[in-house]
Amino acid sequence: MIVDTPAIVLKTFPYGETSLISRCFTKEKGKVSFIIKGARSKKNPIAPYFQPLSFIQIIYNENEKRDLQIVSKAHFIKIWLKISQSLKKMTLLQSILEITDLSLEINDPNHGLFESLIEVIELYESDSINSNVAFWFYECAVLSETGFRINLKVDNPGLIEDDSSNLNDQKQCRYILQNLINKNFGEISFEKFLPEEKKLVSNFLYNQLCYHIEGFDRLKSFKVAKNILNDL
């Protein structure tokens, strides 16, 4: 079957002497791995499209018996000009790509998460909201779109049980989380929140992801991203 779908490249790595394997999050088929034969040759016309974070249109003939699909055609849908010029943004988005990769099953479409991934990349490209808020938004989206939507009407591990927090901190955290879930970014004035409140939100989302997504606590890129966000 011919598949023609938008995709975000999650990860690409060498295979053999001349080829690459690229793992992509496709809108229509979910997470799919492709082999790009001869990709390490300068004459290969397809290889440049398969860099992590690339937003591309892929055409391939799906073979359900193969673990690695073969690309027929590819082209860019959009090029992220501002992101590519910022090491901080690239580092944060690398962590987001790894979180996405860990959250997805092979060949299991998740249109909601795909749209959220495009949205968070657009937020970093446009500089329209604070980097922490964008990162938190995507963490909430991952939880929601994988079946673990935050329910602030019930107790949640890592939020109200935190002995270092007080009731006012908890109230502000719930306010931030509710607006993140509802995408009311204009209601979140990051600079006005206290460090304790920011820490509570960050730790709460981390604990939720560790609890629901196996292996999340071992993501090295997330620890790097967290250090960057704490400095912003």
Asked if 39 and 102 sit in the same domain, the reply is no
Report the domain count for the chain. 2
33, 61, 78 - which closes a domain: 78
Asked if 180 and 69 sit in the same domain, the reply is no
pLDDT in tens, the chain (232 residues): 999 999 999 999 999 888 999 999 999 999 999 999 888 777 788 889 999 999 999 999 999 999 999 999 999 999 999 998 999 999 999 999 999 999 999 999 999 999 999 999 999 999 999 999 999 999 999 999 999 998 887 645 455 444 444 545 678 888 899 999 999 998 898 888 888 888 888 888 998 999 999 999 999 899 899 888 877 6
Report the length, in residues, of the chain: 232
**pLDDT attached to residue 163:** 47
**pLDDT attached to residue 209:** 94
**pLDDT attached to residue 166:** 52
Q: The whole model's pTM is what? A: 0.91
**pLDDT attached to residue 156:** 58
Q: Is 31 in contact with 101 (CB distance < 8 Å)?
A: yes
31, 63, 78 - which closes a domain: 78
**pLDDT attached to residue 157:** 47
**pLDDT attached to residue 214:** 93
Kindly state the tokens that stand for 186. 């204009």
45, 62, 78 - which closes a domain: 78
Residue 140: closest CA among 114, 179, 167 = 179
SS3 of the chain: helix, strand, coil, percent, to 5 = 45, 20, 35
**pLDDT attached to residue 197:** 86
List the domain range (segments joined by +) for residue 44. 2-78
Q: CA 119 → CA 8, 11, 125, 137, distances in Å?
A: 12, 19, 10, 10
What is the sign, positive or negative, of the torsion defined by CA atoms of 221, 217, 110, 126? negative
Asked if 14 and 96 sit in the same domain, the reply is no
Q: How far apart (Å, rounded) are the C-alpha atoms in residues 173 and 207?
A: 14
Kindly state the tokens that stand for 4. 């023609």
Q: How far apart (Å, rounded) are the C-alpha atoms in residues 20 and 34?
A: 8
